[in-house]
Structure 1
Amino acid sequence: MAGDDGLGRDFGRLWGAYATSSLGTWLALDSLPLIAVLALDASAAQLSWMAAASGAAGALLAVPLGPWVEFQRKRPLMIRADLVRFLVLMSVPAAHVLGLLSYVQLLAVAMVVAVSDIVFVGASGAHLKSLVPDGHLTRANSRFETVTWVSTAIGPPAGGALIGVLGPVVTVVLNAVSYALSALGIRAIATPEPAPPARPARPARPARPAGAAGGSRLAEVAAGWRAIAADRDLRLLFANSVLVNALIMATAPLLLHLMLNDLGFTPLEYGLGFGVPCLGGIVGARLSRPLVRRFGERRILLGFGAARAVWLVGLVFVGPGTGGLLVVMAVEMAMITCVGVFNPVLVTYRLRRPPKEALARVLTAWTISSRAAIAAATALWGVLAGVVGGRAAIAVAGVLLIGTTALLPR
């Protein structure tokens, strides 16, 4: 069990909850875009706009949540975020059965899930740091990274097969149920949660003219970004991480449309193309800790941070049939193996660097920035694909991704 090696029984419960929701999430990989294509005949542009709108709305609505999350107990927030995602996702099969499903509903569901994700991530990082001793954080994050890649390897092919047999909404139901089970697992954690930091008292200040902005409120909202900006290495890793995620994710709707619509791949083949390579993520996550012990955090962050950026451009060469599927698998396998090594080191580094009292706001600011950048890049690449074609747009993203290595701390 995950909690039997010094991490504690309650870590095992948290790990089990995460594993359940992670498997549900990856079973439902791109489920809303797939439903949009298969049930509503959406175009490539509509898929890009769905990803962009949900990311932008989620980031915008989540901006004031950083300070709020910081000063709340984290475990109840995580449970509520899980339950909100369960309820909103279950609205999709209900509408489908009643013949009421629409593109607008899928957009709304994607936006609510995005906001809930941001709340959960902002709360869960601070909660983990209070549950696991500092010396065990890298091991704990490697466990989470491993289960992510196991779920990613199993989920998409299984989800694609289920969609082929039972229709496009079945994986949405399973994803919703996984969030409900995650909430039950988190609720079972017995270790008392430390009290959240007290909100600083606002100093008295002169009355402002009507309509003037509240300085202390803005300062609270911006505290996460200020903490990142104050640390040179954290600032560079933040910029690199946000840009890398944005460029990779901007190509996802284009590749989905290219594979399913233009090249004739089935949902099962699409799932295999992204599931099988995630075995590399499992290997990478397993190697992460011993590599850090041998070479140190900084060398791993630099070396594997650069290595993860060079592969995306290879997706330009995907074609039809088995050969094209093998190209996708090879590119994704190489990139994901590097990400599997890099991510646990980045996550642990990010938990240790900020002041403790600003940690939840840093995590929320990081997530909001990443979601907003993904939304903007996805919208931009949807327009670019309309002008130059999906394959050329993927090539541009691949070249720019290589350039992000300049932002890694030396």
Structure 2
Amino acid sequence: MSASGQPATMPAPTSLWRDGPFLRLWGGQSLSQFGDRISELALPLIAVTLLHASTAEVAAVTALVWAPNLLAILLGAWVDQQRRKRRLMVLADLVRALALATLPVAYLFGAVTLGHLYAVAVVTGAAGVLFNTSYAPFFARLVPRRSYIDANSKLGASRSISHVAGPAIGGALVQLLTAPIAVLADAVTFLLSAFLIGRIRVAEEPAAAPDGSTEPPMLTRARQGLRLVVSHPILRASLACCTTVNFFSFVAYGLTVLFASRVLELSAGAIGLAFGVGATGGLLGAVLAPRISQRLGVGPTIATGVVLYAAPIAVIAAAGGPFWVRVGALAAAEFVSGFGIMLFDINLNSLQTSVIPDDMRSRVSGAFSTVNYGIRPLGALAGGLLGTVAGMRPSLLIAAAGGTLSVLWLLTSPIVRIRSLDAAEPGRGPTPGPAGR
């Protein structure tokens, strides 16, 4: 069997456009992405407009969504021992749909509380971790190895489109239906995703214990996943780079809107317009990522992407002058940053999928989530502290410098020398591939 779970003699499909199982996965993920944009807007608005929550209470909603990732390393160790990853993904979608649906029901009875909102945040966040740790091995068995970049490009394009159109759709639904009722649209997208994924048929095999021995305890399996990440040159460098750039990007994340409003003196409409125009950079990056990686090589494209993602924060920090220059600087920075993150994510995700052994995928995904996502709230807190002490403009420049320098983790690793996914084998270090075209 190949790494994708298909017989080694079976040729990869010439186009994913004719691959029914992948199209169902892509459709389900696309619907979920649009639903997520609605909830990202609606949940904080429920706290602000309906429950009159304080700034700290509103921030806690976002923090609680991310909090379950701190236990992802343990959940990933458990998921690796479960045979039916598809069923776990369907279960995760159904749990998220049910949790979100409780909000409009409670609203109709006048029973929404802050505690209820917090509970929904935790449950949907935990179900998201279950979905993501199950997704890694499922994707590898569904998509042929040579199609990893193409598949991630299509999934990334859907995510980018959702960021372009999703906020507008979410805003219209909130305006028309109220925030609690608008959340129901997100619940429906999870139901549709569960239906589509449930119809996918793919060979799934359990991770067997070596020599038929008894499976080690969950904590031991979690340590094995973390040990593989730390010992593997590609996984170690990619985690270090991702964690560093995420820390500094979240330093900037909490300051950007505040800086644009108070320092650049842009209206909410102007900021939204700049972000909407900027989000098209992500769509363009997702579409062009396969071609660019073919020309530059996978590793160089990853390194280029992380620089393009982080460096434009400095453009925002340096913005000034006439109104059109301030809006243009914000839009241009968001455009280049969105383009860069697609080059980075699509190629790095594909490379990681290529080198992780089948029986370790969920454990590695869990270890990554615990470290990589766990650093984000710390970055946001650091940004708030730094902005208070040093000011927002210097803080954004620090975030740009720190995020850009995360590329050093790649330049001192084998990743930058990898030209194609064939240059790395599961469970082994890479060998330099042929020069890119």
> Considering the TM-score relative to the shorter chain, is it more than 0.5?
yes
Q: Which moved more, 1:329-338 or 1:311-320?
A: 311-320
Greater Cα shift, 254-263 or 236-245: 254-263
Judging changes above 3 Å, is the alpha-carbon distance between structure 1 residues 152 and 21 closer, same or farther for their aligned structure 2 residues?
Answer: same
Aligned to 1:378: 380
Deviates more, 1:57-66 or 1:94-103: 94-103
Query: How do residues 161-240 of structure 1 correspond to structure 2 at under 5 angstroms?
Result: 161-189=172-200, 191-199=201-209, 216-240=217-241
Query: What SS does structure 2 have at the residue aligned with 1:301?
Result: helix
Does residue 151 (structure 1) correspond to residue 148 (structure 2)? The answer is no
1:23 and 1:177 map into 2 onto residues whose CA distance is: 11
Matches within 5 A, 1:389-400: 393-400=395-402
Match of 1:353 among 355, 373, 378: 355
Query: Deviations for 1:54-91, whole angstroms, at most 9, x for unmatched residues?
Result: 42x31234332111111111100100111111111222
Normalised to the residue count of structure 2, the TM-score between the two structures is 0.80
Match 2:120 to one of 109, 113, 134 = 109
CA distance in 2, matches of 1:355, 1:283: 32
Q: Distance in 1 between matches of 2:167 and 2:90?
A: 25
Q: Which residue of 2 aligns with 1:367?
A: 369
The reply to whether residue 75 of structure 1 matches residue 77 of structure 2 is no
Which AA in structure 2 matches 1:376? L
Rounded Cα–Cα distance in structure 1 between residues aligned with 2:283 and 2:337: 12
- Cα 1:328–1:37 shift into 2, 3 Å: farther
1:65 equivalent among 64, 75, 94: 75
- Residue pair 1:126, 1:359 contacting (<8 A) in 2 also: yes
Q: How many corresponding residue pairs?
A: 395
Q: Does 1:329 align with 2:331?
A: yes
Range 102-111 or range 67-76, more displaced = 102-111
**1:35-65 residue CA offsets vs partner (Å, 9 max, x unmatched):** 334444445444444433442x312343321
Q: Secondary structure at the match of 2:340?
A: helix
Q: Distance in 2 between matches of 1:185 and 1:98?
A: 32
Unaligned stretches of 5+ in structure 2? 1-12, 417-437
Q: Which amino acid aligns with 1:68?
A: W
Change beyond 3 A, Cα 1:295–1:261: closer
1:290 is matched with: 291
Q: Secondary structure at the match of 2:204?
A: coil
Letter in 2 for 1:134: R
Report the Cα distance in structure 2 between the residues aligned to 1:169 and 1:344, rounded to whole angstroms.
34
Q: In 2, are the aligned partners of 1:288 and 1:345 still within 8 Å (CA)?
A: yes
* Residue identity in the other structure for 1:276: V
Distance 1:160 1:273 in 2: 16
Question: Percentage identity across aligned positions?
Answer: 28
- Greater RCO (CA < 8 Å, at least 6 residues apart): 1
> Could you tell me which amino acid in structure 1 is paired with residue 152 of structure 2?
N
Q: Deviations over 1:349-391 (max 9, x none)?
A: 0101122211121112112222211122223334444555656
Q: Given that residues 77 and 123 in structure 1 are in contact (C-alpha distance below 8 angstroms), is that contact kept between their aligned partners in structure 2?
A: yes
Q: C-alpha separation between the residues in 2 aligned to 1:316 and 1:160? A: 28
CA 1:389 to 1:112, structure 2 compared with 1: closer, same or farther past 3 Å?
A: farther
Residue type of the alignment partner of 1:294: R
Structure 1 runs not aligned, ≥5 long: 205-214
- State whether residues 160 and 271 of structure 1, in contact with CA within 8 Å, keep that contact through their aligned partners in structure 2: no
The residue identity in structure 2 corresponding to 1:330 is A
